[in-house]
Every structure is written in structure tokens, then in C-alpha cells.
Amino acid sequence: MAVQISTLYSYVRALPVTAGPLCRVRADFQRASVRFNLTVATGRSHLGGQPATGPLRGHIKKLSTSQATTAEAIQKSSQGNGASSRRWRRGWLLGKVTLGAVIGVSSAALVQSLHTGTVAAMARKVNLTSADGNWKDTKDFLLSLSVKDRRQYYRTTDFVPLDDIPVWTPSADGPKPGLYPRNEKLDQKISLYTGDITKLEIDAIVNAANNTLLGGGGVDGAIHRAAGPVLKKECASLHGCETGEAKITCGYGLPAKYVIHTVGPIAQGGVGEEQRKALRSCYDNSLKTATENSARSVAFPCISTGIYGYPPEKAVHEALATVREYLDEHHDKLDRVIFCVFLPTDKELYMQNLPLYFPAASPESTVRSKL
Ligand code: AR6
């Protein structure tokens, strides 16, 4: 019985809420739990304290009544003779087993109804087209859902699931030798995708943001429009971001669970060591942020190569080298890294350079593997 109740208590405590209606349910439960513990300790059905309120009141009432009956039985037993005392003990044991079963069933039902009730209540409150409301509640709720359950909240209908994004297949005709050794397992973790990053149903998409994190043009503007106005509210709470750093938010109305915001270097005056390092830091810190948040699939746009003017033919090498080196070290933490290009010229650049960083087997090793 104690185990059942403590399991139930842990479940409610673990509800991912910090405020709002879920929080109130947790408070109700805590009050009710204390009351129940006291009931068990004293063997009395009513304690004279404030009755529990909220959705748990009915359940606690039932528990208190059962416990009172048992307590009366014990009292009678202790007053009777030897035979009746044995009978009372047998009755007490039977009662205990029955009570345990009743509580087992009712706590499972309670967990289910609590979950269903809170999810339904929160689902009614989620509004991804308005900036009103508490973004933290919305975020907690969305992050608690499975991918399938989250689909009804996407602000787009034409999303692209991860399984529809093919993995990189290096061609044996590619340049030889590659800059990095062949690693077939890593090829399975790389994709080149041409299209709109806001459509990808993956764990995290990276945003090429600015230092304010409050939105802008290019891919930043596209992500904010697709996610809806709640994204800006969470971004405002982050107090900006340094160049080369990365910060994470919920994806809200996006098919992606998270958005990782990074700020690329401004390179309109040319590219020096400082810009090169900053661009690498964007890719590296975004991947670190993804893995710290258990995001296993991540998509990158071509950071800094639009409005910030970093030459795409240089940026592609920093992007590919940083991802390759991160995967060499942390391949177990990521399932897929997607280079999401928007322009045909960028697609061409990645097609040309991917084989340098994720090369095909050399002719000799192909022959060896057939033997
Ligand atoms: N999906 C994928 N890639 C896209 C999309 C999209 N929907 N839209 C554009 N791109 P940019 P930056 C590509 O200018 O150079 C913003 O105002 C685009 O073709 O978006 O890092 C921020 O607030 C290009 O290859 O980012 C900053 O102020 C790449 O995304 C500033 O721009 C990056 O271009 C950041 O400039």
C-alpha cells in the first residue's frame, strides 16, 4: 500500500510543471497525501484539519473511510477474548489484503485520471497563435507529448518526418583521398536536405539568429513565423546570445521539438581567423546544446552565409569539419545531423565537399571487403 501511494506521489511530483493548473493539481495531491499519511498513523477517519480540495478529495475520502473501519476493528479486537482476538487478527489480515487491492486499483485509476485530466485541461489552454498565456506551461505541456500527440499542434500540415530524409551515400567517384578517414557508421548519421528547415519533424533545428534573439529576417524570420508568437516570448527570457554561442527553446508550433538559436559572425568585411573560429563555435555549441538536451536529430541552415555575408564556399568547410569532428567524438549521442540548404548553389557546394569529410571507400578497401 505504502509502495502504491509513494509511486503515485512520485508520479505527481514528477509532473513537469512549475506553475499553472498542473502545479495546482500537484499541490492538491501533496495536501491529500499528507492527510492520508496522518490518517494511517492515527487510525482515525477524520483528522479535524482542513479537508483536501480539488480532484483528489473524493479519493482521499474513500481511503479515510476504509481506514476508519479497519481502525475500529483493531480496537474491538484488542478488547475481546483469545478466540475472538484470533478471529479479529484473521479479519485484520484479510482486510489489509483487500484494502491493499482496493488501493492498488484506485491508485492506478487515480494516476490515469490525473494524467488524462491534466493533459485535457492543458490541451484546452494551448494557443499557439497568440502571445497571451504562460509560455512555460505551454512549453512543459508540448515537451511532455509524444511526437504523434504533438502533431495536432503543428502550425503546418506539410511536415517532413525524419524517416523521409535520406542519409548521405558517398559516391565512389568522389574526390580521393578524403580529408578524413572513411567511416560508414558516420555516413548513416549525415543527410543533405534541400528545402525549408521549418518543415522538418526532428528533435532540433538550428536558427541563424542575431544577438538579441528577438527575431529578424532570413531563416530566423521563417522560424519565428512558423513557430508562432510564443517562441518570441521564450526568446525574450534568454536575454540575448553572444556570437558563437547557442541557446535552446521549445519549437512550439514547429514540427521540430526544439529550436537551437546560434549567432553567426558578421563577415561582410571579409573572413579572418576570428570569424572562422566563431562560425565553428556556432556548429560546435549547437551540437553540444542538442546532446545536453537529448536531441538526437539536428538540422543546420548555412549559418552566416545570407545576411551576415560569410562566403558560402568557405563556410561549407567550417560546417562540415566541425560536424565531422564532433561526430568522431560523440557518435553515440546523435542519430542524424542534417545540412539543410535552401539555395541550389549551396546544394552544389555541399555535394562537392561532403565527400571530403565523409568519403566513400577507397578502391583498395572495396576490393578487400568483397574478399
Ligand atoms: N530554411 C532553410 N534555410 C533557409 C531558410 C529556410 N526557411 N530561409 C533562408 N535560409 P540568413 P545569416 C538560408 O540570412 O546570414 C537574420 O535577420 C539562406 O539561404 O537567414 O546568419 C537574423 O536575425 C542562407 O543560406 O542568416 C540575423 O540578423 C542561410 O539560411 C541575420 O539574419 C542563412 O541566411 C543572420 O544572418
Return the bridge partners of 249, or none: 259
Q: 19-28, 100-109, 283-292, 294-303: which has the minimum mean pLDDT? A: 19-28
6 occurs within a structural domain: yes
Residue 22: the pLDDT is 45
Strand 200-201 vs strand 246-250: parallel, antiparallel, or unpaired? unpaired
- Please give the Cα distance from 319 to 282 (Å, whole number): 9
Return the bridge partners of 14, or none: none
Crossing angle for the helix pair 135-144 and 82-125, nearest 10 degrees?
110
Residues 247 and 342 in one domain: yes
Rounded mean pLDDT of the chain? 79
Contact 198, 254 (CB under 8 A): yes
pLDDT band of residue 368 (cuts 50, 70, 90) is: very low
pLDDT band of residue 93 (cuts 50, 70, 90) is: low
Separation of 63 CA from ligand 1 center, angstroms? Answer: 60
Return the bridge partners of 261, or none: 207, 247
Residues 256 and 108 in one domain: no
For the domain that residue 245 is a member of, what is the CATH number?
Answer: 3.40.220.10
Q: Which pLDDT tens digit goes with each residue over 344-360? A: 999 999 999 999 999 98
Highest mean pLDDT among 12-16, 75-79, 174-178: 174-178
Residue 361: the pLDDT is 63
Q: How many domains does the chain have?
A: 2
Tell me which H or E stretch contains 65: helix 57-79
Using CB atoms within 10 A of its CB, is residue 322 exposed (0-12), middle (13-18) or buried (19+)?
Answer: buried
146 occurs within a structural domain: no
Q: Which pLDDT tens digit goes with each residue over 182-201? A: 999 999 999 999 999 999 99
Residue 164: the pLDDT is 98
Q: Which DSSP category does 259 fall into?
A: E
Residue 110: name the closest of 5, 30, 17, 1 by CA.
Answer: 5
Residue 13 phi/psi, 5-degree rounding, is -60, -35
- Please give the Cα distance from 204 to 330 (Å, whole number): 17
304 occurs within a structural domain: yes
Residue 48: the pLDDT is 33
Query: What percent of the chain clears pLDDT 70, i.e. is strictly above it?
Result: 65
Residue 245: name the closest of 212, 284, 273 by CA.
Answer: 284
Q: Ligand 1: which residues within 6 Å by Cβ?
A: 196-198, 208-210, 216-220, 222, 264, 301-308, 340, 342-343, 346
Specify the higher pLDDT residue, 104 or 365.
104
Residues 214 and 86 in one domain: no
- Please give the Cα distance from 231 to 213 (Å, whole number): 10
pLDDT band of residue 172 (cuts 50, 70, 90) is: confident
Specify the higher pLDDT residue, 170 or 82.
170
- Domain ranges, residue 193: 162-370
Separation of 11 CA from ligand 1 center, angstroms? Answer: 42
143 occurs within a structural domain: no
Residues 232 and 353 in one domain: yes
Residue 62 has pLDDT above 60, yes or no: no
Residues 106 and 234 in one domain: no
Query: What's the grid cell of residue 121?
Result: 485541461
Specify the higher pLDDT residue, 368 or 89.
89
Q: Which pLDDT tens digit goes with each residue over 131-161? A: 888 999 999 999 999 999 999 999 999 999 9
Contact 339, 150 (CB under 8 A): no
Residues 226 and 318 in one domain: yes
Separation of 342 CA from ligand 1 center, angstroms? Answer: 9
Tell me which H or E stretch contains 281: helix 273-292
297 occurs within a structural domain: yes
Of the residues 298, 307, 318, which should be mutated to test ligand 1's pocket, given the most ligand atoms within 8 Å of the CB?
Answer: 307
Q: Which pLDDT tens digit goes with each residue over 63-78? A: 344 444 444 444 444 4
Residue 84: the pLDDT is 55
Residues 190 and 279 in one domain: yes
- Please give the Cα distance from 12 to 110 (Å, whole number): 11
Residues 169 and 296 in one domain: yes
Crossing angle for the helix pair 21-42 and 57-79, nearest 10 degrees?
10
Give the residue, by CA position, lying nearest to ligand 1 atom 23: 216
Residue 252: the pLDDT is 98
Residues 235 and 298 in one domain: yes
Q: Last residue of some domain: 97, 115, 133?
A: 115
Cβ burial 17-48 (10 Å sphere, 16+ → b, else e): beebbbebbbebbebbbebbeebbeeeebeee
183 occurs within a structural domain: yes
Cβ burial 175-194 (10 Å sphere, 16+ → b, else e): eeebebeebeebbebbbbbe
Of the residues 194, 197, 219, 243, which should be mutated to test ligand 1's pocket, given the most ligand atoms within 8 Å of the CB?
Answer: 219
Specify the higher pLDDT residue, 5 or 282.
282
Residues 70 and 194 in one domain: no
Residue 268: the pLDDT is 82
Specify the higher pLDDT residue, 62 or 210.
210
Residues 108 and 170 in one domain: no
pLDDT band of residue 276 (cuts 50, 70, 90) is: very high
Residue 211: the pLDDT is 98
Contact 43, 55 (CB under 8 A): no
91 occurs within a structural domain: yes
Return the bridge partners of 269, or none: none
Residues 69 and 212 in one domain: no
Give the residue, by CA position, lying nearest to ligand 1 atom 5: 219
Separation of 187 CA from ligand 1 center, angstroms? Answer: 26
Highest mean pLDDT among 19-23, 67-71, 100-104: 100-104
66 occurs within a structural domain: yes
Using CB atoms within 10 A of its CB, is residue 359 exposed (0-12), middle (13-18) or buried (19+)?
Answer: buried
Return the bridge partners of 193, or none: 340
Query: What's the grid cell of residue 113?
Result: 485520471
Residue 130: the pLDDT is 87
Specify the higher pLDDT residue, 127 or 314.
314
- Please give the Cα distance from 369 to 361 (Å, whole number): 10
Specify the higher pLDDT residue, 194 or 111.
194
Q: What is the dihedral of CA 138, 144, 146, 151, to 10 degrees?
A: 0
**C-alpha of 198 from chain center:** 17
Contact 319, 302 (CB under 8 A): yes
Q: What number is the average pLDDT over the span 166-173?
A: 86
